[in-house]
Amino acid sequence: MYDFDKIVSRENTNCAKWDAVEKGLLPMWVADMDFQSPPEVMMALQERAQHGVFGYSSGYGDWFEVLIQWMRKRYGWAPQREWISTSPGVVAALFMLVRALTEPGDRIIIQPPVYRPFYYVARSNGCELLENPLYFDGNKYRMDLEQLRQKVDSRVKLMILCSPHNPIGRVWSREELLALGQFCLEHEITIISDEIHSDLVLPDYKHTVLASVSKELEQNMIVCNAPSKTFNIAGIPASNVIIANENLRSAYRRVLRESGLALPNVFAVTAVEAAYTYGEAWLDELLLYLEENYRLTAGFLAERIPEIKLVEPEGTYLLWLDCRSLGLDDKELDSFIKEKAKLLLEPGTIFGTGGNGFQRMNIACPRSRLLVALQRLEKAVRG
């Protein structure tokens, strides 16, 4: 019903993915999609724009109600209305949460390879970064709680969890989250769970909202999610910060107010309402399209470029390519991808520890474009 094959030029729209890059390279890097948003979102925005007056907003419309319904339906867990706050973006929320919940000198855990801004967030407010690298057995990544037990001390106050995990594509299971949650409760570590990719999981997997794992954990954590990745509206400032614990919530809200960010963007309210209210059918079709893109890529690599191994994804539209068999160092690999394959991917090294020899590829694009990218890669490898 929806046409994800349609090519929509994004050039000259001030977009990061296409306009801020060297011409001639096929951009498959930054985590947004080359698809139009659901038609209902486009229509709602057009209607709002047609009104022509864009003065200060005073509230959130039905934003919170439609979010609650969305989460109840898709995850079997729903926040209470008063638990919900917003932020212009998840990264902004992470910085504000660190400001709200730490003192300089506190330590913050992240689990690389991971979304790069986590590094900056964990070093903000005078905090110290504590890395607990994921364990990779050659096929699958796991959290390493034994290793973490050796590293943790009383200065550790926060963990920033990526769930599902960008860039390695894991959708953490309920058991894994329970074990992590228990660990953090024992060590009095509050978890910030960045669930921005939660709506984008492959059909065989199920996202578990961390707060849904236990009542005790619900009180010891914060969920950050957003419609931005899901409906491809990342350029519209809107994300959710869900906090059941009253003390943590009031600490966050104070920083939000003191940052002058308590009022929403008028287009954000319109887009969020329309997306969560009408976007589900579109999303379900998108997920099938993305799954097919993943299968195409997996088959192509296995058959024609076996030197590049795909780490089997469970969620996100970001594929994690193990390029170590190409025998190139990181600098050589980056220039091989850019200069020989004429692709713009994300070098694994930007995701920190454990990223060497990997590249991240965004496959949220029309299939014809994905095929061009794979053919370019094949040509480069085959010389």
Ligand X SMILES: Cc1ncc(COP(=O)(O)O)c(C=O)c1O
Q: Does 90 bind ligand X (CB under 6 A)?
A: yes
What are the phi and psi torsion angles at 318 (to 5°)?
Answer: -110, 120
Identify any residues that bridge with 241 across adjacent strands, giving them in sequence order.
Answer: 85, 224
Identified binder of ligand X from the candidate list 110, 177, 196, 311, rule CB under 6 A: 196
Which residue lies nearer to ligand X by CB, 276 or 300? 276
Show the binding pattern over residues 30-49: x = contacts ligand X (CB under 6 A), - = does not.
Answer: -x------------------
Kindly tell me which residue out of 29, 60, 70, 115 binds ligand X, with binding defined by CB under 6 A.
115
* 10 within 8 A of 34, measured Cβ to Cβ: yes
Between helices 246-258 and 90-101, what is the axis angle to 10°? 110
Binder among 212, 220, 239, 362 for ligand X (CB under 6 A): 239
Using Cβ positions, the residue closest to ligand X within the complex turns out to be 89
Q: Closest Cα partner for 156 from 193, 128, 124?
A: 128
Vertex 158 angle, CA 156 and 160, to 5° = 130
Stretch that binds ligand X, among 89-97, 126-134, 256-264, 303-311 (CB under 6 A): 89-97
Determine if 362 is a binding residue for ligand X (CB under 6 A).
Answer: no
**91 in contact with ligand X (CB under 6 A):** yes
Q: Does residue number 143 form part of the binding site for ligand X (CB under 6 A)?
A: no
225 lies in the binding site for ligand X (CB under 6 A)? no
- Residue in the block written with tokens 């003390």: 247
Q: Which is nearer to ligand X, 54 or 120 (CB)?
A: 120
Give the whole-angstrom CA distance, residue 237 versus residue 226: 10
Hey, which residues between 164 and 193 contact ligand X (CB under 6 A)?
166
**List 98, 160, 226, 377, residue binding ligand X (CB under 6 A):** 226
Please choose, out of 83-91, 297-305, 323-331, 349-357, the segment that lies near ligand X by the rule CB under 6 A.
83-91
Does residue 314 bind ligand X (CB under 6 A)? no
- Considering the complex, what minimum distance in angstroms separates the CB of residue 167 from ligand X? 8
Closest Cα partner for 91 from 136, 122, 53?
Answer: 122
Asked if 270 and 48 touch (Cβ cutoff 8 Å), the reply is yes
Which range, of 65-73, 86-94, 247-255, 324-332, touches ligand X by CB under 6 A? 86-94
Minimum distance of ligand X from residue 380's CB (angstroms): 26
Query: Counting contacts by CB under 6 A, is residue 271 touching ligand X?
Result: no
Of 125 and 228, which CB lies nearer to ligand X in the complex structure? 228
Residue of the chain from 27, 89, 264, 354 that contacts ligand X (CB under 6 A): 89
Q: Tell me the chain's radius of gyration from C-alpha atoms.
A: 21
What minimum distance in Å lies between the beta carbon of 100 and ligand X?
A: 17
Please identify, among the stretches 70-78, 85-93, 128-136, 345-353, the one whose residues bind ligand X according to the rule CB under 6 A.
Answer: 85-93
Shortest CB 37 distance to ligand X, Å: 15
Cα-based torsion angle of the residue sequence 69, 51, 3, 338 in order, rounded to the nearest 10 degrees: -100
Check residue 98 for interaction with ligand X (CB under 6 A): no
Residues that bind ligand X (CB under 6 A): 31, 89-91, 115, 162, 166, 194, 196, 226, 228, 234, 239
